[in-house]
Amino acid sequence: MSLPEVIIESHIPFVPEGFLAGAAHVRFLAPEAITPESVRDAAALIVRTRTRCDAALLEKSAVLFVATATIGTDHIDMPWCRSNGIKVVSAPGCNAPAVAQYVWSSIIRLLPDTWREITLGIVGLGHVGSIVADWGRRLGVRVIACDPPRRRDHGGWNAADPYSAGTESFCTLAEIARQADVVTFHTPHVREGEFPTHHIAGKEFFDSLERCPLIINAARGPIIDTEAILSASAAKKCFGSVVDCWEGEPAISGDLLASALIATPHIAGYSVEGKRRATHTVLTALVEDLSRRGLVSDADAAAAMSQLPPSPPAVPAGFRITPEAIVASYDPMADTALLRNGFTPGRFEQLRNGYALRHEVGFS
């Protein structure tokens, strides 16, 4: 029997050398080389956000497993994959500590004298928002949170463990606009359904701001209306913006690039530990899927699993989150300078794909 073919996008780091050797034919392809022709005979595909996985790519292929080494699945046609029996796996939460590092480093650097007195409004209390909230609690900052799906399902949240249900009340977006000195977004991009997030921060939101807050988008570009935030900044309705995720990436708004206090090429989650977590998650799921389908033997599956290093914790055991540790661990101003220096859409992708992965707080 011929070996199953597995395609892994070449920019995915920390795949062990010789992974699945002798058990599968593993090919590493650049994103632009992942085409209907190249995936035709593949049993499994592992990608990142720049590969659109839909009928156009997969309809004539043998692929029955798609994994993305990212937290989001915006680039995957989930209904089509489900209807065609394709299992889809992502890595939710893999980069949450790195995004929290980015958010808190930005806040402390931009508000060095006042950050301890802020009310932090978090929109989206999922994997990332919960860590941002937890660090806020540890740093002694007042945190309020808006998450309509969790409000429906959980009622409230646990201040000591924000990812869990509890007695802390969820706010509405209007209450965030009234009370928050910093608003940070951590939602998926959803266009339809009960809780759409497309342009959730639009003209109405910015017009309702009462405390001239700092606005942070380290979630998905289209949740913030670019023209609305530019107008709000010009009208002094907000203190300024921190933008890592942009509408129209990589062809981002030059005006927003110029006006943002911090502007980075979608790298808030680009840490060594985050990438290790993501790769560990998708490779584990790949081996389990190939084994379940009888495409690799139990012995080969066990050998492949033994190659994987452990997935790093959110912070090392016993490590204490402090403002000094956060600021020392990462400087988003350096990445801002790199993005602004002779910007072109190609430069956005170049910086993102060639990013020198940083360590998270507590790791070195």
Q: CA 313, 318, 322, 327 torsion: positive or negative? A: negative
Give the side-chain half-sphere CA count within 13 A for 120: 32
| Residues that are catalytic | 220, 249, 266
d(CA 266, CA 99) in angstroms, rounded, equals: 10
Looking up tokens 């492949």 gives 304
Residue 262 bridge partners (DSSP): 242
Which residue in 197, 228, 187, 233 sits closest to 213, CA to CA?
Answer: 233
> What letter would DSSP give residue 3?
P
Residue 157 bridge partners (DSSP): 165, 168
d(CA 154, CA 344) in angstroms, rounded, equals: 44
- Asked if 107 contacts 309 with a C-beta cutoff of 8 angstroms, the reply is no
- H or E segment to which residue 189 belongs: none
- Hey, is 256 helix, strand or coil? helix
Q: CA 37, 58, 89, 294 torsion: positive or negative? A: negative
- Hey, is 336 helix, strand or coil? helix
The residues near 62 (Cβ < 8 Å, ≥ 6 apart) are: 40, 41, 42, 43
Q: Are strands 156-158 and 168-169 parallel, antiparallel or unpaired?
A: antiparallel
Report the side by side order of strands in the sheet with 240-243.
142-146, 119-123, 182-185, 214-217, 240-243, 262-263
Tell me the residue length of the chain.
364
315, two tokens: 């912070």
d(CA 251, CA 297) in angstroms, rounded, equals: 46
The residues near 333 (Cβ < 8 Å, ≥ 6 apart) are: 109, 262
